Every structure is written in C-alpha cells, then in structure tokens.
Chains A and B, each alone.
Chain A
Amino acid sequence: MKIKKNIPLIDQHDKFGFWGGKFGGNFIPETLKKPIEDLTDKFEKLRKDQNFLKKRDFYFKNYIGSPTSFTKLENLSDHLNGAQIWAKVVSEANGGAHKIYNATVHALICRAMGKKYIIGDTGAGYAGKMLSMAAKKFGLKCKIFMGAKDIKRQKPNCDAMKKNGAEIVPVYSGSQTLVDAVSECMRYWVSNCDNTHMCVGSTVGPNIFVKICGWSTAQISKELKTQIKQKFKKIPKKLKLINCVGGGSSAYGFWSEFIDYDKNHIELIGVEAGGPKKSLLHAAPLSRNAKIGILHGAASYVCQNNEGQIHETESISAGLDYPGVSPIHCFLKDTKRAKYTYATDEEALSAYQLVTKFEKLNPSLEPSHAFAEAIKIAPKLSKDTIIVVNSCGDAKKDRDILIERLGGNL
C-alpha cells in the first residue's frame, strides 16, 4: 500500500472506489447505484468546468469569507515554552466551522443537477447548520437528520437550522447520535433519490461523498500553504499539523496540500475522541485499533463487536462521536503518512480552558481535542518546531456543556 505523489488523495482509489485496495468502496443498496453513478458523473464534469470552479471560488471568497486567518498563539506558546503554536482559525468561516465548504459545494451541485430538495446528517449541528444556510442561499428545501441526544446538547446550532427554514428530523434509534443520523438520512435518500440530493457531512459514506467533501475542505490547506510561505518565507523545517478527527473532513482538508511532503518534515497528527477518562466507550477507531468493517456504505476502521454490530460511542464532543472514520484516514494510517492518537473528554476540556485563558480564541470541543495534543507535546519540542492546530469550530454551540462541566471556571 503506497501513496502516489502529485495526485490528490481523493483520486487515489481503484475502479471499485477503494483506497489502498480495501478502504472505501460502495456498499449500497441497489436503489442507490444509479443516483450515485449520476452524482459521480456530474461531479467529475463539474470539477473540470471553469464556470463551476469560478462559481465555487466566488462563493468561497464572498460567502464563506476565505481565507480564514493564520495566527501565532503567542501567549500559549510562551506558557508552554517549547514548540511554537499557531492556529488556522477556520472557525472564522461563515457559520463558524469548516462544514460550510462541503455544504456550499453540495448546494451548488444540487442546483446543477436540477434538484430542489437537499438532505444531510449532522452531529455537532455544524454540518446541518451550514447545509441549512447554503440551502437558503441557493433556494433549496432542506431536511436535516440529527440524533435526539445531539439535538439536546447542541441547541444553538438547532436554533440556527430552524431559523434558516430547515426541517430537523430527530432520530431516536440506536444511540441517538451521529451514526443514527447518517443511517436515517441514507434511508430517506433511498426513498426519495429521484428528486432529492444527499449531502454527507464528512469524508465518509460511499466513495463519491468522500471525494466531494475532501475536494471542498481542501480549500483550508490551499490557504494554509500560502499563508505559511508568507509568514516563514518557506515551509519550516519542522512542521506539525494537528487536527481533530471525527469523520475526518476537517483533517483531510487541513492536510491535503501537505501529504506529498516527507513525514519527518511535515508531520500529520490526527486526534480522535477518547471519550470519558474512565469509560470503555470511545469514538477512536484509528488510534484504538478497531477492526475494518462496513459502515454507511464504506469499509473503514470501525468500532464494532466481533459479530459486526456497530458499537455505541461516547464523547463530550458530538462532532467526533462517530464509530467509523474516513477511508482516506485509514489509508493515511496504514501507509504511516499520518499518525493518530486520542484525547479524553477531560483532556479536551482542560485544553479548552488553557487556550481560552491565554488567547482570544474560542475553539469548540472538537478542535479542543487537537489542542489537547498540541499542549501535550509542545513543551518537549524545540522552539523552531512549528505546530499548527486547525481551530475548525467555534464553541458557541457548546455553551451549555461548558457551563455544566466547567461551571465558574469557564
């Protein structure tokens, strides 16, 4: 298994849609074969279509607000007294997280396909909020599938979805979190694929959804590469890019331009959700060595029992609370190009406290997992090591959880 150079990772799959011969694919009911084939053809055309690319760039700049800033966290770096810590503040994007890139592109594709209805899943509520925004902007009717547990814990984002005119469909099956939302969304699509376009909220699902999402979030690393060259004149000798990984859309987008570099030069570190410190449940299939399984139409490392039943997961962060992960990250893991670890709920919370104490930055619980790793390793590293953390979401949505868990120490 080997990564090829000069070809985007999203395109390095075989004719059946597998990366590294075994991750990804299309494990889908017959009914979805045709809509997925149609979407695949359309996307391959659109990504070569200059008009479409112009449109994308226009909305990325004028609607999403690209580029988001790249900034040194001076106080945090001083405090940790080791590697320099920088942040790519993707939460500045319209809506407050990276999910807007994928949502905008899907809305544009939906329009190009002549469909009027768009549906999507959401965990933290950002994917749903962004899809509702994009739907409103482009005149589409929107339904969002969301686990009942997540509706309770991510209320601010639900309020936003409703304000944008989207219908939230609560999902009561299973653990009532993201995994169930994605299943229910796919089921709805099976029944309505003739007039409805489906957006998958991360780099997961059948092959084409991994590709569209990765193609969209790749904007983040395109910006970052330019910004790093501007700040440092050239790419620093020791660079570490740290990103949280739920489905992996933010991490892939943050890394895509840097995958061809040697790992001793640019290290890619993904941080999964370790769950509560004392719990056996987690959402960390890569770093806690889950077996390969099939979930939501693709093969990937999946938290599951030995019969193939998908495990319930547990994490303070709704966005990372998912038993599977992108096939692309499985490929990056097995080729050893990226390294994956996890942070517990408690570590993410203390990272949140430390970052907000020293910096004017308010990372949501998902990127707080990435900060936890940065905070852990920075003191042991030399001052010329540059750590960049993708601060990919804003913590406004986590207000209730943060008050409950941190109370007066917020």
Chain B
Amino acid sequence: MKNSLINQSFVNARKENRPALLTYSVAGDNTKKRSLEILKSLSEYADICELGFPHNTPIADGGQIQTSAYRAIKNGIKINDVFSIVSNFKKIKKNKPIILMGYYNMVYQYNENKFISKCKKAKVDGLIIVDLPYPENKVFAAKCKKNNINFIQLISPTTSKLRLKKIVSDSHDMIYYISMLSTTGGKLKVSAKEIIKQYQKIKNQNKSKNVVIGFGITEKTIKSLKKADGLVVGSAICKEITRSIKKRQNTVTNVINLVKKLKNKIK
C-alpha cells in the first residue's frame, strides 16, 4: 500500500524532521457531534487520527479510555454513527488518515465483510483490533489489505524474537509498539532508552515499516521518545476531555491546546 495516506503522513513528518503525532479519541465522547468537533480540532495538529469505537468490556484499556468509552455508549453511540463521523470528517479533511480502533466482538457482530466494506465507504485508512493478535488475524488482515485498508499489527515488550519477525513480515504500512506492560493510560514505567532499544529491534527487521510507540505518552514523556517514526497519545486526551466536562469548560478548546503543546514538544 505504497501510496496510502498513512504512509504519506510519515513521509511528511520525516521531511520536517520530527515524529508523526497520532491522537486517539473515542467516537461519541461525549456526544456524536462533539466527538466530530474534537476529531476535527485534533487533526489540526495530528498527522494521523485514531478513533475508538467504544466497547463496554474493554480488556486492555485503563481508566481514562474506559471512562470515555462508557460515556460515549451511555450517550447512545452506535457503530453506524462511528462510520458517519468518519464520513463527515473526510468530507472536509480528505487527506487526513483515520484509523479505527476497537475490540473484535463489535466487528464480529457487525460481520467482518460488512464492516470492511463500510470502512471502505467511509474512507477509513486503517484498523487496529486490540484483541485479534497474530496469527489469528491473518485472514482478517488479508481482507483489509485487499480493500486498501491498513491492518495495524501490535508488538509488545513480551513479543518473542521469532514472533516479532513474523509479525513484521505480515504487517502493512504501520506497526504499533506498546511501550510497556500496561493497559492504556498507565504511567510510563520503562526508561525511554529501553523503549527506543526495543523499538529499534523492530525497525531493524524492516526499515521501510513505520513504527509508532504508544502507551504512557503524555506532555511529560513525549519528548524523550522523539526518535520514533510516530507517537500515539490517547489517554491524556481522554483525560483532558473528562476534566473539561467536570469543570464545565469547552472540551474542544482544551483538547486543541493540549495537542498544540504535544506537537510543540516534538518539533
């Protein structure tokens, strides 16, 4: 998928001598309309936007993202709404890549093929399915590729050497490295040096793959990982949304300020 928007975003960031910034927010948090506005404002600074389709039994998410997900579900978000948020977003930002992220049961209930064709229609660029690891994801990943959708493989500190090789060779344009043993939103408990060392092992397998690092990335930690192809910030954004709602402040403005700061740290 050489000409994918995802690939292009990394090329652009590299030209500017910085890592790509990837943001994660939850579709429907805290309303459908608001989450679209948040997505639009995030995309002013983010190179790639990840959009979560919320599940009520998320086995790999920490408190911040859970809170966002439960809030979105409570406010009535449905899978079809997620697709329409993406469609509407793409109408005005057609070159900004969108990656949908979620749990397999939602895809399974929707029907894999139907889900993929909906993604295609909405112009979704990539998919992360948290609980569909390699090699179980082979068939699904191949279907995505056939439809020009990037299936994004995850690698973690526990991934063995042999497995890492296989995953990299099966991956598409982007690979997601989980920085530490943690659910999303955990405090970074490994040194930046150690994370970059692991990251480098993946890069060494295949330099042409874009490898992003996620989990535990905040305003405080983002700079230390600048070397990576891309950095994902999720929980910090969800946390800011929660904080803004509690303080009855404007979520959109506050989130914009946060990504602006994040972006400045890696320029």
- Shortest CB–CB separation between residue A186 and chain B, in angstroms? 5
Q: Is the CB of A309 within 8 A of B183?
A: no
Q: Is the CB of A293 within 8 A of B105?
A: yes
Q: Does A193 reach chain B (CB closer than 8 Å)?
A: yes
Q: Is the CB of A309 within 8 A of B186?
A: no
C-alpha gap A29/B163 in the complex (Å) = 14
Give B129's nearest chain A residue, CB to CB: A27
- Shortest CB–CB separation between residue B249 and chain A, in angstroms? 25
Q: Is the CB of A309 within 8 A of B55?
A: yes
Using A190-B183, A304-B109 as known contacts, say yes or no to A309 and B56 having CB atoms under 8 A apart.
yes
Q: Which A residues are in CB contact (< 8 Å) with B183?
A: 187, 190-191
Q: Is the CB of B181 within 8 A of A190?
A: yes
Q: Bits for A192-203, please: 1 = Cβ < 8 Å to B, else 0.
A: 111000000000
C-alpha gap A130/B35 in the complex (Å) = 45
- Shortest CB–CB separation between residue B48 and chain A, in angstroms? 20
Using A31-B156, A190-B181, A306-B109 as known contacts, say yes or no to A294 and B131 having CB atoms under 8 A apart.
yes
Q: Using a CB-CB cutoff of 8 Å, which residues 172-190 of chain B contact chain A? A: 178, 181-183, 186
Point out the residue from A16, A194, A307 that lies within 8 Å of B106, measured CB to CB: A307
C-alpha gap A291/B105 in the complex (Å) = 11
Q: Bits for A90-118, please: 1 = Cβ < 8 Å to B, else 0.
A: 00000000000000000000000000000
Point out the residue from B73, B105, B106, B133 that lies within 8 Å of A30, measured CB to CB: B133
Q: Which A residues are in CB contact (< 8 Å) with B154?
A: 29-30
Q: Bits for B58-97, please: 1 = Cβ < 8 Å to A, else 0.
A: 1111100010001001000011000000000000000000
Q: Which A residues are in CB contact (< 8 Å) with B133?
A: 26, 28-30, 33
Q: Using a CB-CB cutoff of 8 Å, which residues 139-153 of chain B contact chain A? A: none
Q: Is the CB of B57 within 8 A of A179?
A: yes
Give A323's nearest chain B residue, CB to CB: B57
Q: Which B residues are in CB contact (< 8 Å) with A191?
A: 181-183, 186
Q: Is the CB of A308 within 8 A of B58?
A: no
C-alpha gap A309/B72 in the complex (Å) = 12
Q: Does A174 reach chain B (CB closer than 8 Å)?
A: yes
Q: Does B204 reach chain A (CB closer than 8 Å)?
A: no
C-alpha gap A284/B95 in the complex (Å) = 47
- Shortest CB–CB separation between residue A187 and chain B, in angstroms? 5
Q: Is the CB of A293 within 8 A of B108?
A: yes
Q: Which B residues are in CB contact (< 8 Å) with A34?
A: 158-160, 163
Q: Is the CB of A294 within 8 A of B108?
A: yes
Q: Is the CB of B79 within 8 A of A307?
A: yes
Q: Is the CB of B131 within 8 A of A173?
A: no
Q: Name B's interface SS.
A: loop
Q: Is the CB of A31 within 8 A of B131?
A: no
Q: Which A residues are in CB contact (< 8 Å) with B132?
A: 27
Q: Is the CB of A29 within 8 A of B56?
A: no
Q: Does A67 reach chain B (CB closer than 8 Å)?
A: no
C-alpha gap A294/B61 in the complex (Å) = 16
C-alpha gap A179/B58 in the complex (Å) = 11
- Shortest CB–CB separation between residue A1 and chain B, in angstroms? 19
Q: Is the CB of A173 within 8 A of B70?
A: yes
Q: Bits for B31-66, please: 1 = Cβ < 8 Å to A, else 0.
A: 000000000000000000000000111111110001
Give A16's nearest chain B residue, CB to CB: B136
Using A26-B136, A307-B79 as known contacts, say yes or no to A31 and B181 having CB atoms under 8 A apart.
yes
C-alpha gap A359/B231 in the complex (Å) = 66
Chain A, interface size category, equals 35 or more
C-alpha gap A179/B154 in the complex (Å) = 26
Q: Is the CB of B181 within 8 A of A193?
A: yes
Q: Bits for A21-60, please: 1 = Cβ < 8 Å to B, else 0.
A: 0000111111111110000000000000000000000000
Q: Which A residues are in CB contact (< 8 Å) with B156?
A: 29-31, 33
Q: Which B residues are in CB contact (< 8 Å) with A32?
A: 158
Point out the residue from A194, A293, A296, A306 that lies within 8 Å of B59, measured CB to CB: A296
Q: Which B residues are in CB contact (< 8 Å) with A183?
A: 57-59
Q: Is the CB of A30 within 8 A of B59?
A: no
Q: Is the CB of A307 within 8 A of B182?
A: no
- Shortest CB–CB separation between residue B203 and chain A, in angstroms? 18
Q: Does A310 reach chain B (CB closer than 8 Å)?
A: yes
Q: Bits for A121-138, please: 1 = Cβ < 8 Å to B, else 0.
A: 000000000000000000
C-alpha gap A291/B109 in the complex (Å) = 9
Using A27-B131, A309-B55, A309-B56 as known contacts, say yes or no to A294 and B105 having CB atoms under 8 A apart.
yes
Give B73's nearest chain A residue, CB to CB: A309
Using A28-B133, A187-B183 as known contacts, say yes or no to A297 and B108 having CB atoms under 8 A apart.
no
Using A29-B130, A190-B183 as known contacts, say yes or no to A297 and B158 having CB atoms under 8 A apart.
no
| Contacts beyond the supplied A293-B109, A294-B108: 19 A-B pairs with Cβ under 8 Å | A27-B105, A27-B131, A27-B136, A28-B131, A30-B159, A31-B178, A34-B158, A183-B57, A191-B181, A192-B181, A194-B181, A291-B109, A293-B105, A293-B108, A296-B59, A306-B109, A309-B56, A310-B56, A310-B57
Contact surface of A with B, Cβ cutoff 8 Å? 16, 25-35, 173-174, 179, 183, 186-187, 190-194, 291, 293-297, 302, 304, 306-310
A-B contact pairs, 13 of them (CB 8 A): A26-B136, A29-B156, A34-B158, A35-B158, A173-B66, A174-B56, A187-B59, A193-B181, A194-B158, A295-B105, A308-B105, A309-B56, A309-B57
